[in-house]
Structure 1
Amino acid sequence: MRPQLGSDAVHTAEQNNIARLETDRKWRELSISSDFEAGGGSKVYPWERELIDCLAIYQVKNLSPEC
Structure 2
Amino acid sequence: MEAFSAVQADPKVSQDLIEAALTLLPELHAALDAAQSASRPATAARLAAARKTVDRSAGVYREADR
Above 0.5 in TM-score?
no
**TM-score, normalised via structure 1 length:** 0.32
**TM-score, normalised via structure 2 length:** 0.33
Name which structure has the greater RCO, CA cutoff 8 Å, separation 6+: 2
Structure number with the higher helix fraction is 2
